[in-house]
A and B are shown apart, each in its own frame.
Chain A
Amino acid sequence: MSAKEQSGGGTVEYIQHHLTNLCAGDCDPVTHKAASFWAWHLDTLFFSIALGALIVVVSWRLSLRLTAGVPGGFQNFVESLVEFVSGQVKDSFPGHNPLIAPMALTIFVWVWLMNFMDLIPVDLLPVIAGFFGIQYLKVVPTTDLSTTFALSLTVFILIVYYNIKVKGALGYLKMFLFHPFGKYLVPVNIVMTLIEELAKPLSLGLRLFGNLFAGELVFLLIALIGGTLAVGAAALFWLPLQVVLDLGWLIFHLLIITLQAFIFMVLTIVYLGMAHVSEH
């Protein structure tokens, strides 16, 4: 505690508090962090599933009034989204697999929505939750490694599945043995391919997590300008600065969340495309 006080206790505590999930199950009673694997992050689950439900409800309602004639505004928007994802899949996925495109669309939209939670003012939802007696709330599901790795591990499982399905179990094994350096460097090949394959889900999950976590942190720091420095007459300087910085980071971050959702989608398509190529 003394270290915290030295580095301006309130600030650190504020950030720590914002980065703590609402934990249930096996949690540390002091820090409220997960103590082992068997802890549920209720906020992550709630927001991701709520956003998933939003996708479900909106697409279900849209499906009821789809028309092949002149499309309305929203159908037009969804159609262009679908055609955009379709184009991405056609560009970077060899062969045909009816699962890839809807999965890519799901990733893009869901990840984008979860990222979008980052643009909601950092204190708004936690304060509202505080009124209901909820002490901790981390609103951006993609700043939780559990979410990003859930996505990347699902993709990884599919990568392994399609590798075995397309190349055969033996062919998949051969890939580890003889790729990339041929049959004389088998031990090196195994290590190289293993790293290559494991790097796929790791980089997918960590990239998304890192970007969103850093973005969230910057929002917290900008929020601190108004929270800690704006005392008395100084507020005349610090508050406008906070607004300007927040607006700038919001606009920039809007680009980042879209880019990250897009990158996750495209890499998923590319990785699964590589799994479908049988010559190695």
Chain B
Amino acid sequence: MNITVTLIGQMAAFVLLIWFVNKVLWGPLNNLLAERQKRIADGLAAAEKGKHELELSEKRAREMLREAKTQAAEIIAQSEKRATEIIEEAKADARSEGERLIAAARAEIDQEVNRAKEQLRAQVAAIAVAGAERILKREIDEKAHADLLQDLVAQIR
């Protein structure tokens, strides 16, 4: 007889072993596998999200860069314009100042010339009177011929 009561013992051992494997190994391991699956899925989703966000921020950065470039170009253009303006203003100022200086110098020169002329005239009149005095010796009364002399002076002038 080959099949003995051992059979019953083996069946009991088998059932107990199934129970234990289910309880300790199969259950926890499957939960764990599910958890890991979820983790991986989450990780992939996060990676996808991160990639998307990276794309967005890259786009934003590109936009900002472009804006900054146009702004910089604007600023440069403005400052160039301003610089030329300043130069033009300076030029205009210098020109008007120069003109003013020239005018003033001319006026002074004219004045000097006039003054010199007046002096010369007076000296010439005096010399003429003195000459006439010497020539005419006392014949000509300064008081009597004042109008004559005045006329002479006016002619010289």
Contact = CB atoms under 8 A, between A and B. Distances in A.
Interface stretch (B13-21, B63-71, B115-123): B13-21
B32 A68 contact: yes
B24 A63 contact: yes
Contacts of A34: 1-2, 4
A40 B10 contact: no
Interface residues of B, number: 32
30 contacts: A25-B5, A35-B1, A39-B6, A40-B6, A44-B10, A48-B10, A48-B13, A55-B20, A56-B24, A59-B21, A59-B25, A60-B24, A62-B25, A63-B25, A66-B32, A67-B32, A68-B36, A69-B36, A82-B25, A82-B26, A102-B21, A102-B27, A103-B18, A105-B21, A105-B25, A106-B18, A144-B6, A145-B2, A146-B4, A150-B13
Given A55-B21, A110-B17, A150-B14, A78 B1 contact: no
B57 interface: no
Contacts of B105: none
Contacts of B28: 63, 66
B136 interface: no
A221 interface: no
Given A38-B5, A67-B32, A86-B30, 19 more contacts: A36-B4, A40-B5, A45-B9, A55-B17, A55-B20, A55-B21, A60-B24, A63-B28, A69-B36, A82-B29, A99-B18, A102-B18, A102-B26, A105-B26, A145-B2, A146-B10, A150-B7, A150-B8, A150-B11
Contacts of B11: 150, 153-154
B150 interface: no
A147 B10 contact: yes
Contact of B6 (A63, A110, A147, A153): A147
Nearest to A56: B20
A59 B5 CA distance: 29
B4 A39 contact: yes
Contacts of A67: 32
A56 B30 CA distance: 17
Given A34-B4, A68-B35, A82 B14 contact: no
Interface string B67-91: 0000000000000000000000000
A192 to B, nearest CB: 26
Nearest to B34: A68
Contacts of A99: 18, 22
Contacts, number: 127
Contacts of A37: 1, 3-5
A68 B22 contact: no
Contacts of B13: 45, 48-49, 52, 150
Nearest to A28: B1
Nearest to B29: A82
Q: Is the interface of B mostly helix, strand, loop or mixed?
A: helix
Nearest to A52: B17
A62 B30 CA distance: 13
Interface in B47-67: none
A67 B28 CA distance: 10
Contacts of A106: 14, 17-18, 21-22
A180 to B, nearest CB: 30
Interface in A43-78: 44-45, 48-49, 52, 55-56, 59-60, 62-63, 66-69, 78
Contacts of B2: 34, 144-146
Q: Which of A35, A44, A150 has the most CB of B within 10 A?
A: A150
Contacts of A151: 10, 14
Contacts of A62: 25
Contacts of B32: 66-68
Contact of A59 (B9, B14, B24, B33): B24
B39 interface: yes
